[in-house]
């Protein structure tokens, strides 16, 4: 009985400790960001590996999510003779929820895991301590550019996902199901509010980009420097950032749209 | 890490396409382009019952949208709902005795305000009040009236 409580206490203490280390790590990253702005070439290399290489995945996923939403939405809406609202349904669900969340989950799987594995392997092969020996700050040289690249890429990728999804819905709705072209856009423009919907979706994607990249670089930096440790850290990145995205999405949705 | 020229080009393209997507969302997929020409004049109308009329509902004449509802409040003096609507300034020649009624688009559609032009020479301007109004039809009242009339006719 006492052993059970002891294990529970140990678990919670170590969780709190990780959270504290993560926060201190985040503050250190923030302090290292100015030195990245002096050397923008570091950032460009990371924007390429984090953003550009996720590009095709996001475009294809967005297109298919939009097309499936249109097909399924049409099935329900046609029962009520409200096919004209298809565009609104596709655009609202993509802008408010699916765009930031699905793009975030894909981003965590595609870019977050790669970040953790790369940094973890750098640590395991003692490249990070090598840098410190040469008086090069690994925070400024390795961690901060990656963090900033993730923070910049995620809102762009989420916007891209949403835009391609709306176009995919248009492709299916107007091209295949025969909804009026003008009605599709005019219904969307009548219903979707710029500040209420588009801006809130953008805020969501920025928050998700922040939390995913933070978890990814911290797990890599904090990994046990063995092949097993790096593998565990990579798994943890995907699982923890997915949970964080879903939890934060619920909180943000309740704050943004809860009153409606 | 070595940065090649093509890498820089791809990063530039990526950022540009992302920004274009965001621009597309704000201009084509939201009301930013429609509501940006916010110049218009406000008129008020008093209704006994606004039903489920919402702020931002369209105001139309002959089926053409000419403005939007900007506020719905309750007037404690007259015990009526005050609906403020903004009408686009290019429609500045509406007779002052136009009447406003709350209509429903389709059977299940949302409610909007339909204006019916009157015959006066004076035009509506900022702050005018529409005197002739017709409230929203409330289905429960309508059914109640129908039942009551049926009983009294026996």
Co-location of B53 and B64 in the same domain: yes
The arithmetic mean of pLDDT across residues A140-145, rounded, is 90
Model confidence at A37, pLDDT cuts 50, 70, 90, reads confident
How many angstroms away from the CA of B9 is the closest CA of chain A? 10
Across the interface, whether the CB atoms of A194 and B108 are under 8 A apart is answered: no
Co-location of B3 and B78 in the same domain: no
Assess B64–A contact: CB distance below 8 Å, yes or no. Answer: no
Co-location of B83 and B136 in the same domain: yes
How many angstroms away from the CA of A112 is the closest CA of chain B? 18
The arithmetic mean of pLDDT across residues A84-102, rounded, is 91
Across the interface, whether the CB atoms of A163 and B26 are under 8 A apart is answered: no
pLDDT of residue B34: 60
B28: pLDDT strictly greater than 70: yes
- The domain spans of chain A are 41-253
The arithmetic mean of pLDDT across residues A218-244, rounded, is 93
A224: pLDDT strictly greater than 50: yes
Co-location of B14 and B45 in the same domain: no
Q: Tell me the chain B residues in contact with residue A82 when contact means C-beta distances shorter than 8 Å.
A: 108
Q: pLDDT, tens digit, for every residue of B5-20?
A: 888 888 899 999 999 9
Residue that the structure tokens 């059977």 belong to = B107
Model confidence at B36, pLDDT cuts 50, 70, 90, reads very low
How many angstroms away from the CA of A56 is the closest CA of chain B? 11
Model confidence at B145, pLDDT cuts 50, 70, 90, reads confident
Co-location of B117 and B59 in the same domain: yes
Is residue B151 a part of any domain in this protein? no
How many angstroms away from the CA of B113 is the closest CA of chain A? 15
Q: pLDDT, tens digit, for every residue of B55-109?
A: 878 888 888 888 888 888 998 888 889 999 888 888 888 888 888 888 887 666 6
Instruction: Enumerate residues 6+ apart whose C-beta is below 8 A from A26.
Output: A214, A218
Residue of chain A with shortest Cα separation from B24: A163
Q: Tell me the chain B residues in contact with residue A80 when contact means C-beta distances shorter than 8 Å.
A: 108
Is residue B100 a part of any domain in this protein? yes
- What is the domain extent for residue B15? 1-36
pLDDT of residue B66: 86
Instruction: Choose the mutation target among A194, A196, A199, A206 for the interface with B, i.e. most B CBs under 10 Å.
Output: A194
User: Above 0.95 for ipTM, yes or no?
Assistant: no
Residues of A with CB under 8 A from a CB of B: 41-42, 44-45, 47-48, 51-52, 55, 80, 82, 91, 95, 152-153, 155-157, 159-160, 162-164, 166, 185, 188-190, 192-194, 197-198, 202
A248: pLDDT strictly greater than 70: yes
Across the interface, whether the CB atoms of A45 and B31 are under 8 A apart is answered: no
Co-location of B50 and B103 in the same domain: yes
Co-location of B70 and B108 in the same domain: yes
Q: What share of chain A has pLDDT > 70, as a percent?
A: 99
Rounded distance between C-alpha atoms, residue B94 and residue A2, angstroms: 83
How many angstroms away from the CA of A163 is the closest CA of chain B? 6
B37: pLDDT strictly greater than 60: no
Is residue B150 a part of any domain in this protein? no
Co-location of B4 and B50 in the same domain: no
Across the interface, whether the CB atoms of A185 and B58 are under 8 A apart is answered: no
A39: pLDDT strictly greater than 90: no
Is residue B20 a part of any domain in this protein? yes
Is residue B152 a part of any domain in this protein? no
The arithmetic mean of pLDDT across residues A23-48, rounded, is 90
Across the interface, whether the CB atoms of A162 and B32 are under 8 A apart is answered: no
Is residue B149 a part of any domain in this protein? no
Co-location of B90 and B121 in the same domain: yes
**Mean pLDDT, chain B, whole residue set:** 83
Residue of chain A with shortest Cα separation from B15: A156
A168: pLDDT strictly greater than 60: yes
The arithmetic mean of pLDDT across residues A239-244, rounded, is 94
Co-location of B110 and B91 in the same domain: yes
B154: pLDDT strictly greater than 60: no
Co-location of B80 and B123 in the same domain: yes
A100: pLDDT strictly greater than 50: yes
Co-location of B19 and B46 in the same domain: no
The residue that leads in pLDDT, B141 or A161, is A161
The total domain count for chain B is 2
Across the interface, whether the CB atoms of A45 and B17 are under 8 A apart is answered: no
The arithmetic mean of pLDDT across residues A122-131, rounded, is 91
pLDDT of residue B132: 85
Rounded distance between C-alpha atoms, residue A198 and residue A247, angstroms: 20
B38: pLDDT strictly greater than 80: no
The arithmetic mean of pLDDT across residues A121-145, rounded, is 90
């Amino acid at each position: 009985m006492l052993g059970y409580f002891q294990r529970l206490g140990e678990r919670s203490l170590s969780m709190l400790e990780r959270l504290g280390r993560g926060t201190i790590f985040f503050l250190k990253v923030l302090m290292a960001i100015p030195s990245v702005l002096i050397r923008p070439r570091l950032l460009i290399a990371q924007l390429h590996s984090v953003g550009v290489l996720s590009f095709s995945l996001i475009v294809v996923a967005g297109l298919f999510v939009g097309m499936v939403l249109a097909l399924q939405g049409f099935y329900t809406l046609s029962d009520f003779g409200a096919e004209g609202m298809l565009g609104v349904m596709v655009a609202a669900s993509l802008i408010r929820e699916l765009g930031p969340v699905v793009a975030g989950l894909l981003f965590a799987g595609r870019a977050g895991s790669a970040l953790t594995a790369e940094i973890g392997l750098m640590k395991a092969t003692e490249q990070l301590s090598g840098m410190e020996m040469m008086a090069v700050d690994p925070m400024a040289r390795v961690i901060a550019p990656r963090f900033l690249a993730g923070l910049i890429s995620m809102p762009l990728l989420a916007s891209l996902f949403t835009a391609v999804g709306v176009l995919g819905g248009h492709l299916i709705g107007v091209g295949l199901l025969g909804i009026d072209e003008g009605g599709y856009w005019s219904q969307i423009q009548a219903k979707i509010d710029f500040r209420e919907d588009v801006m809130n979706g953008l805020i969501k994607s920025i928050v998700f980009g922040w939390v995913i990249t933070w978890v990814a670089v911290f797990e890599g930096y904090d990994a046990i420097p063995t092949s097993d440790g790096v593998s565990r850290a990579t798994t943890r990145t995907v699982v923890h950032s997915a949970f964080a995205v879903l939890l934060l999405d619920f909180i943000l949705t309740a704050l943004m749209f809860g009153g409606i | 890490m070595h940065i090649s020229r093509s890498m820089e080009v791809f990063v530039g393209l990526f950022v540009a396409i992302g920004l274009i997507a965001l621009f597309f969302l704000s201009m084509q997929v939201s009301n930013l382009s429609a509501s940006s020409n916010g110049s218009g004049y406000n008129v008020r109308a008093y209704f006994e019952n606004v039903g489920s009329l919402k702020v931002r509902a369209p105001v139309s004449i002959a089926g053409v949208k000419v403005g939007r509802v900007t506020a719905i409040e309750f007037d404690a003096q007259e015990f009526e709902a005050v609906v403020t609507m903004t009408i686009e300034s290019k429609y500045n020649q509406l007779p002052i005795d136009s009447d406003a009624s709350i209509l429903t688009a389709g059977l299940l559609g949302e409610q909007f305000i339909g204006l019916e032009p009157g015959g006066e020479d004076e035009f509506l301007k900022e702050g005018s009040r529409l005197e002739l109004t017709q409230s929203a039809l409330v289905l429960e009242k309508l059914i109640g009236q129908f039942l009551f009339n049926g009983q009294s006719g026996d």
